[in-house]
Amino acid sequence: MKIVSNPTRRSVLKGATALGASLFVPAAWTQARAQETKAFQLTPKPATVSLLGPEWPDTDVWAYNGRVTGPELRLQQGQRLRVDVKNGLNQPTTVHWHGLRLPNAMDGVPELTQAPIDPGDSFSYEFDALDAGTFWYHPHVNSSEQVGRGLYGALIVEDKEPPHVDRELTWVIDDWRLTRDAAIADNFGNGMDISHGGRQGNTLTVNGGQMDEVAVRSGERIRLRLINVANARIFRLNFNGHDPQVIAIDGQPVTPHAPTDGRIILGPGMRADVIIDFGGDPGETFNIVDAVSSAQSYVFATIRYSAEPPLRTSPLDASIRLAPNDVATPDLLTAERHQVVIEGGAMGGMRSAIYKGETLSISELAQQQMKVWALNGVAAHTTKMEPMLTLKQGRSHIITIRNDTGWPHPMHMHGYAFQILSRNNKAVPHTPLADTVLLDRNDVTEIALVADNLGDWMFHCHILDHVVGGMSAVIRVA
Ligand code: C2O
Ligand code: CU
């Protein structure tokens, strides 16, 4: 499976697999509704939902509280979040709070930070929301399948002083691999997906439904929170005719700036907050394009301006800069240096790796349920591994990550917001804070952090089938 070439929305639907779906997709989507309290209940369980609208069969999914996307959990920065999770699936699960800096025991990684929650059992997560920003939650057991069947939701921590906007929207973006009957193709974790680019879907949803059109009013300013929850697809969104300003990456404020090449790049797990002044004329339309490359793009959605007169004639004159979160700044002069090398996969040239303590050849690894990826020479067989790196608590650290494979990898670290210092020996503008850094093939990047959060933390690719294939490790802060 690879990304389809020159897809339109509809050819994405039908072209990406041999399943032959020729799906016509009417516009029907709803925005996740905000909740008002700090205590929530989440019940992951089987459900039947309409992903494609009334003209298509419903889809059997696994969903939090019966809906895709799961409920949007909202609270204020500094508040405490309590979430009671009851497992309504027929297999163990956990909930991981992606991007949040929280105590290790609340991080939701089976074996490493908690026992998995068995079917019918419950677990309560409780922690303070230190950072304002756009985060999300998802299971960390059998993640490729559990996320791929619909278990995810947005977690929004509101700024104490949010920038003035007319509206705020959250777009939880997913792609699904559906059969012609709109059922989820159940070939999770197959060797092809594991060893190549992961499970690419053939059907896009935003907030669990179709979003062919986005209705806006001339003159309005919108804050858009973009969350990529897809198993493997990398989005490169181009808002033609508009000038989106990125104000946060992975929930962490950044100097407002236009995205490089005009494309907002979101690997799996990644988020961006953007502010857009909608300066088009009443009645105009513009396409948001997923610009995979210059040769390959498709219309993600169409912006349609209402006929109403403009809300205002010149853009709002109010700052769009967010207050930074209280993340310690690494001291680069005294930082300890570490390295992570990513190897393996199809066309990767890896000869061997250590698996369960033994050195195995690539063909032997392929026979071990396709453990064909390695971090620093080790293919993971479980979440509870001996640490790949140990970072001294309280010190600053720089980690160089090198992608020696033929595939892109969004590398995610739990429990931290790290600075992205450089990419291919060039300083990264605005030195963004992030929890996930996307490495194209053969990229080298440097990230830096202050090791101020104790514990054993997962470090893994967010292409979830690559995790199935061994691309995860533990970073210990002690
Ligand atoms: Cu969003 Cu360990 O993952
Ligand atoms: Cu990967």
**Domain containing residue 178: CATH number:** 2.60.40.420
Q: For the segment 216-253, what is each residue's pLDDT rounded down to a tens digit?
A: 999 999 999 999 999 999 999 999 999 999 999 999 99
Looking at the DSSP bridge assignments, the partners of residue 75 are: 157
Asked if residue 124 belongs to a domain, the reply is yes
Could you tell me if 461 and 367 lie in one domain? yes
Q: Whole-number mean pLDDT of the chain?
A: 92
Could you tell me if 373 and 457 lie in one domain? yes
Could you tell me if 295 and 393 lie in one domain? no
Asked if residue 285 belongs to a domain, the reply is yes
Nearest residue CA, atom 1 of ligand 1? 98
Q: Which domain covers residue 48, as residue numbers?
A: 27-158
Ligand 1 contact via 177 beta carbon (within 6 Å): no
Could you tell me if 150 and 186 lie in one domain? no
CA of 243 to the centre of ligand 1 (A): 31
Could you tell me if 138 and 241 lie in one domain? no
> Of 158, 185, 202, which residue is a domain's last?
158
Asked if residue 212 belongs to a domain, the reply is yes
Q: For the segment 418-449, what is each residue's pLDDT rounded down to a tens digit?
A: 999 999 999 999 999 999 999 999 999 999 99
User: What is the Cα–Cα distance from 162 to 235, expressed in whole angstroms?
Assistant: 26
Could you tell me if 139 and 180 lie in one domain? no
pLDDT given for residue 16 in this prediction: 38
Question: Which ligand number lies closest to the CA of residue 194?
Answer: 2
Ligand 1 contact via 173 beta carbon (within 6 Å): no
Q: 112, 384 in Cβ contact below 8 A? A: yes
CA of 97 to the centre of ligand 2 (A): 20
Backbone dihedral region for residue 90 (phi beyond 0: left; psi -120 to 50: alpha; all else: beta): alpha
Q: How many domains is the chain partitioned into structurally?
A: 3
Q: For the segment 313-366, what is each residue's pLDDT rounded down to a tens digit?
A: 899 999 999 999 999 999 999 999 999 999 999 998 899 999 999 999 999 999
Could you tell me if 88 and 192 lie in one domain? no
Asked if residue 400 belongs to a domain, the reply is yes
Sign of CA dihedral 118, 119, 122, 123: positive
